[in-house]
């Protein structure tokens, strides 16, 4: 997204509560990857429209997006998975501070393993949000398929990865493999026979895959 357009959209967002500003500042200072404000606002609106009863998030980080989704739909039940122990503890602290521990359950573990456990328990979800290790998106998606209710959706963040998926030749050596994996993922979900997918150029790119 062009910088001038991003600045304009940021100016249209509603005023944030102090706890939101504090979490965003912490994430910025500690270089914790959280959803950018424009994408987060879009995600919250999508949740208000879809009104999912049961949400699964892959990649809790510090609990920012889980809390924002809970704010968008206070009746929704949210399960979030985080592999990093330090971030898991911070997320739990943030969720407890906001009094959301009854709405948001955070699981500490590897998502690939935890998704299989959720499937074996018979859990099912109206919306699954993937925002974790980009190189494992396809693996997460494939495991998530078995957890979806009818007409459910899978949302994947960062699928345009700083615009580099459109111009992979501009990627640094450090990011080259990741960009190729995301390009491969985008191509795969766009051609998936059981889903209709649209990639929305909001923030860092959001893919919405609707189960047929």
Binding-site sequence positions: 35, 65, 82, 110-111, 131, 157-158
Contact 60, 66 (CB under 8 A): yes
Please identify which residue in the block is written with the tokens 């706890």.
Answer: 19
Transcribe 146-209 into DSSP letters.
Answer: TTEEEEEEEEEE-SSGGGTTT-GGGS-HHHHHHHHHHHHHHHHHHT-TTEEEEEE-STT-EEEE
How far does Cα 24 stand from its chain's mean position?
16
Name 122's Cβ contacts closer than 8 Å, sequence gap at least 6: none
- Residues at the annotated binding site for S-adenosyl-L-methionine? 35, 65, 82, 110-111, 131
- Residues at the annotated binding site for Mg(2+)? 131, 157-158
Contact 157, 133 (CB under 8 A): no
Nearest Cα neighbor of 142 from 119, 165, 123, 161 is: 119
Contact 88, 54 (CB under 8 A): no
Tokens representing 156 are 């994947």
């Amino acid at each position: 997204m062009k910088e001038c357009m991003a600045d304009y959209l940021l100016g249209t967002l509603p005023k944030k509560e102090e706890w939101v500003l504090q979490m965003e500042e912490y994430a910025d200072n500690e270089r914790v990857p959280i959803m950018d404000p424009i994408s987060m606002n879009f995600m919250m609106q999508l949740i208000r429209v879809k009104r999912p009863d049961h949400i699964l998030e892959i990649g809790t980080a510090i609990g920012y997006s889980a809390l924002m989704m809970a704010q968008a739909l206070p009746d929704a039940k949210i399960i979030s998975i985080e592999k990093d122990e330090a971030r898991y503890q911070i997320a739990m602290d943030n969720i407890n501070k906001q009094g959301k521990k009854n709405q948001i359950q955070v699981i500490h573990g590897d998502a690939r393993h935890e998704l299989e456990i959720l499937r074996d328990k018979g859990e099912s979800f109206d919306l699954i949000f993937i925002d974790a290790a980009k190189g494992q998106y396809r693996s997460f998606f494939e495991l998530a398929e078995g957890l979806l209710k009818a007409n459910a959706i899978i949302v994947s963040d960062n699928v345009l990865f700083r615009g580099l998926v459109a111009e992979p030749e501009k990627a640094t050596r450090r990011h080259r493999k990741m960009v190729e994996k995301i390009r491969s993922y985008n191509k795969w979900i766009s051609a998936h026979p059981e889903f209709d997918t649209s990639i929305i150029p909001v923030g860092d790119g959001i893919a919405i895959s609707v189960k047929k």
